Amino acid sequence: MAAAAARLLLRSVSSKDPVTNIHASLHNSFGVTLLKLFPSCTFKPKTQKRHAAHFTFHPDPVPTKYGSTMKMNLFQSVTSALDNTLSSDPTAVIFGEDVAFGGVFRCTVGLRDKYGKDRVFNTPLCEQGIVGFGIGAAVGGATAIAEIQFADYIFPAFDQIVNEAAKYRYRSGNLYDCGNLTIRAPWGCVGHGSLYHSQSPEAFFAHCPGIKVVVPRGPIQAKGLLLSCIADRNPCIFFEPKILYRAAVEQVPTEPYLIPLSQAEVLQEGSDLTVVAWGTQVHVMREVAAMAQEKLGVSCEVIDLQTILPWDIETVCKSVVKTGRLLISHEAPVTGGFAAEISSTVQEECFLNLEAPITRVCGYDTPFPHIFEPFYIPDKWKCFDAVKRMINY
Amino acid sequence: MILKMAAVRRMMKLYGLGFHAIRQQTSLRASRVPQQRAFHVNGAQRQQPFDSSVEKPQFPGASAEFVDQLEFIKPNVISGIPIYRVMDRQGQIIRPTEDPQLSKDTVLNFYQKMTLLNTMDRILYESQRQGRISFYMTNYGEEGTHIGSAAALNPNDLVFGQYREAGVLMFRGFPLDLFMAQCYANADDLGKGRQMPVHYGSRDLNFVTISSPLATQLPQAAGAAYALKRENSNRAVICYFGEGAASEGDAHAGFNFAATLECPLIFFCRNNGYAISTPTNEQYRGDGIAARGPGYGMMSIRVDGNDVFAVYNATKEARRRAVAENQPFLIEAMTYRIGHHSTSDDSSAYRSVDEVNYWDKQDHPISRLRHYMTAHGWWGEDEERAWRKQSRKLVMEAFERAERRLKPHPDLMFTDVYEEMNPGLQKQKESMWRHIQQYKEHYPLDLYDK
């Protein structure tokens, strides 16, 4: 099920880049020809054109301390991290559905040719098997990098992640562990992914002691955080915002480097209001901060949480003590979302500093819809409105 | 709509061609690479090459001929896969060529480990009835499957179990004190008192710690076997599970992954007729578990689980071939669960006492091996009496030591969640101690290590 759906989505994602995917471009031009041949099927740009992206990617400054850099998008920076790992760690293996030919999102392109089919290989189509196999490989002494094709399809492996991976070290008194396991999965909305190619399941995992959950906001973070997940001695889930795979491009160091886990990053200092987000939503919030400054004269401090579990309480609370207001935003549904955890912790720690109720701008408590996506997501206008209300509180 | 369909079909054709090209390329590349022992590709070789010129089925999904008559394949459940047996119920070797010819010492060791496990079971079962430990699961009737298979392995082969395989640890020399320490969750427990009783584990003895969720260990065993294969370390993995656990999705995953990824792994199913109260006819309708193996492309066999030599022979050969050929083997050992499922279960609620008695008195792995030893003049009433006394003493001494020992330090509740302790958890630990200092009279602090 996952594979077929993935191919469908892959075509639409990759259609922006005709050079790297011949199939997609063939299919596209063929489709266009068909449409032109059929007289009643004319283009109506206003209604037919897909809704514009809900965010603008903000590249980070070029990193200077890790040596030479290369222009990479997010999927290429993931490949670069995997390449670095396979070359330095002979036990490292990469597996999942369709990873051998390069992956449905191109994240493993070229790795099988470079490192061999015993190190980069397809598994049967079975998520509980992939994670169980990965745990076992880690227990057996390998560095196991498992791919779940979409975060939406990680739920069949929920038992292996929650009851097994997360508890391996604890329950054995540290006799055994699967700390060398990393699970990567494409994550978040993509414009047209509907119910099962859009989910952000991080909060389901945030309730599970023993695992780490990480989401990067761009190529530089993706590589550094993924390498940290792989090096970390605990099982990690690494969610890759798939809408950024091609859209986000920046200068990424070619050599390996680590960005520490459980550390939030303050991207922009501010004095009136703290905004916290992760993944794609960080870029939405950066835009909101600019709008707040321009239209309201409000100075926002923008924080990328980066690690969901265990999260960086200190950085967030320090910021709220300074600003007195906190806005948290995520794509996932609001009830039971991770913003609730952040909100109640900050309320406990910063009660005397808070000048307005902590506000959450999140997805609604519905499944992720297809045609209604523009109305569903917590876009910059919903967030901007929340800032306005908080400032006037 | 029609247009759309046409476009889709055209698209699929393009994709098909693409994939075909990839497959051809791969097979070409594979044929050029010299065959390595560790990574030969059985599956790809079995798949027939594409050749449009011959009038044969060209479907990539199976290698088969056409037939021109409609016929469904019938499952053969009346006359199933036969049960391999080396000795009869009186301990007589049936076919001399199948006799493993084990030395007297080896056989005595088998017998003593099986009976020692049985003695430990009786004492710990009773101790649970008296409320001295919280839970227990006996191994009655399945001692032969544990000892026979464990003896056929190398000591460094990695074991993944379910929970009714304590005999494997017993065979590998796990001390009685550590069995007891785990059940009592005292300060000597390697697992630091965190899991329920009988969830044993040992790093030194390559026995992966037991967990309660059923069948989760099957795909894990496949992964571990894959890692060992890549190490080229001449080690195998054995994975035990019951016939009930084989119904879990993870069993399907484990079988299929082990076969397609060519893992040196022995799946060892203990088919004892029941999953708690559920009889096998409510568990499956095929010919048991062994019949599923060939469906996954897995070499399979069914053995008499009350015949320690049959179990030994099958495991020995499976191990030899699994390591040499990098492929999984499935052994289904037919047994009967003589004891209750656990101390939280009264099995007379769902099965007859007569049935249980038959297996306990007339077809038991321990009594069968004893017949064999008696026939060889290796064991008599005197030895039996002395060993019974000695084994009971060994178990009781360990039992008393375990009971006297304090529980682990409460700080150990917070360690090993992650490799390192994160600040949030550190804070929770401190908060617990602040609370306990203030309310110490309400907590059993004196029972715990200080």
- Give residue limits of the domains in chain B: 96-404, 410-447
Question: Would the CB atoms of B223 and A133 count as touching at under 8 Å?
Answer: yes
- Which tokens go with A14? 């990759």
Q: What is the pLDDT of residue A35?
A: 53
Question: Would the CB atoms of A174 and B222 count as touching at under 8 Å?
Answer: no
- Which chain A residues have a beta carbon less than 8 Å from that of B199? 171
* pLDDT at residue B15 is higher than 70: no
Q: What is the pLDDT of residue B31?
A: 38
Q: Is A180 on the interface with B (CB under 8 A)?
A: no
Q: What is the pLDDT of residue A51?
A: 58
- Which tokens go with B310? 């049959």
Phi and psi (nearest 5°) for A253? -60, 140
CA distances to A258, A370, B335, B355, B363 from B89, in Å? 64, 67, 13, 17, 6
Question: How many interchain CB pairs under 8 A, A with B?
Answer: 187
Q: What is the pLDDT of residue B53?
A: 78
Beta strands in A34-180 (DSSP E): 69-73, 93-96, 120-122, 144-147
CA distance A20 to B230: 33
* pLDDT at residue B13 is higher than 60: no
Task: Please report, rounded to a whole number, the percentage of residues in chain B having pLDDT higher than 70.
Answer: 89
> Residue A305: exposed, middle, or buried by beta-carbon count in 10 A (0-12, 13-18, 19+)?
buried
Q: What is the pLDDT of residue B78?
A: 85
* pLDDT at residue B206 is higher than 70: yes
CA distance B398 to B120: 10
The ipTM, to two decimals, is 0.90
Q: What is the pLDDT of residue B120?
A: 98
User: For the segment B23-45, what is each residue's pLDDT rounded down to a tens digit?
Assistant: 444 443 333 333 333 444 444 45
Question: Would the CB atoms of A133 and B199 count as touching at under 8 Å?
Answer: no
- Which tokens go with B223? 């992964």
- Which chain A residues have a beta carbon less than 8 Å from that of B425? 310
**How far does A174 lie from chain B, in Å, by closest CA?**
6
Question: Would the CB atoms of A171 and B221 count as touching at under 8 Å?
Answer: no
Q: What is the pLDDT of residue B48?
A: 64
Q: What is the pLDDT of residue A38?
A: 55
Once rounded to an integer, what is the mean pLDDT over residues B354-368?
95
Pairing of strands B329-334, B265-271: parallel
Q: What is the pLDDT of residue A50?
A: 57
Q: Which of B127, B341, B347, B391 is catalytic?
A: B341
CA distance B385 to B400: 23
CA distance B94 to B83: 13
Which CATH code, of 3.40.50.970, 3.30.420.40, 1.20.1510.10, 3.40.50.1100, is assigned to B96-404? 3.40.50.970
Of the residues A122, A162, A170, the best mutation for testing chain B's interface (the one with the most B CB atoms within 10 Å of its CB) is A170
Q: Scanning every residue of chain B, which has its alpha carbon at the shortest distance from the alpha carbon of A163? A: B213
- Sign of CA pseudo-dihedral B366, B368, B370, B373: negative
User: Cβ(A221)–Cβ(A76) under 8 Å?
Assistant: no
The torsion defined by the Cα of A298, A304, A305 and A307, in degrees rounded to 10, comes to: 180
CA distance A12 to A22: 13
Task: Please report, rounded to a whole number, the percentage of residues in chain B having pLDDT higher than 90.
Answer: 86
**How far does A26 lie from chain B, in Å, by closest CA?**
9
* pLDDT at residue B302 is higher than 80: yes
Q: What is the pLDDT of residue B55?
A: 81
- At B173, the amino acid letter reads G
CA distance B210 to B200: 6
**How far does A86 lie from chain B, in Å, by closest CA?**
14
User: Cβ(A345)–Cβ(A313) under 8 Å?
Assistant: yes
**How far does A210 lie from chain B, in Å, by closest CA?**
5
Q: What is the pLDDT of residue B51?
A: 75
Give the pTM. 0.90
Phi and psi (nearest 5°) for A267? -85, -25
- Which tokens go with A205? 């995992």
In this complex, which of B11, B224, B252 lies closest to A27 when CB atoms are compared?
B11
- Which chain A residues have a beta carbon less than 8 Å from that of B14? 23, 26-27
Q: What is the pLDDT of residue A256?
A: 98
pLDDT-flagged residues of chain A (< 70): 1-51
Catalytic status, residue B63: no
A10-24, A208-222, B146-160, B273-287: which has the minimum mean pLDDT? A10-24
- Which chain A residues have a beta carbon less than 8 Å from that of B27? none
Q: What is the pLDDT of residue A40?
A: 55
Rg (CA), chain A: 21
**How far does B355 lie from chain A, in Å, by closest CA?**
36
In this complex, which of B14, B220, B418 lies closest to A139 when CB atoms are compared?
B220
User: Cβ(A74)–Cβ(A250) under 8 Å?
Assistant: no
CA distance B126 to B364: 21
* pLDDT at residue B179 is higher than 90: yes
Question: Would the CB atoms of A23 and B6 count as touching at under 8 Å?
Answer: no
Average pLDDT along chain B: 91
Catalytic status, residue B126: yes
Chain A residues 330-389 with CB within 8 Å of chain B: none
Question: Would the CB atoms of A163 and B211 count as touching at under 8 Å?
Answer: yes
- Which chain B residues have a beta carbon less than 8 Å from that of A133? 219-220, 222-223, 226, 253, 257, 261
Chain A residues 40-79 with CB within 8 Å of chain B: none
Question: Would the CB atoms of B218 and A132 count as touching at under 8 Å?
Answer: yes
Q: Is A112 on the interface with B (CB under 8 A)?
A: no
Once rounded to an integer, what is the mean pLDDT over residues B318-340?
97
Question: Would the CB atoms of B419 and A133 count as touching at under 8 Å?
Answer: no
Once rounded to an integer, what is the mean pLDDT over residues B112-135?
97
Q: Scanning every residue of chain A, which has its alpha carbon at the shortest distance from the alpha carbon of B194? A: A171
Q: What is the pLDDT of residue B27?
A: 41
- Which chain A residues have a beta carbon less than 8 Å from that of B221? 136
Question: Would the CB atoms of A126 and B252 count as touching at under 8 Å?
Answer: yes
Q: Which of B31, B63, B134, B212 is catalytic?
A: B212
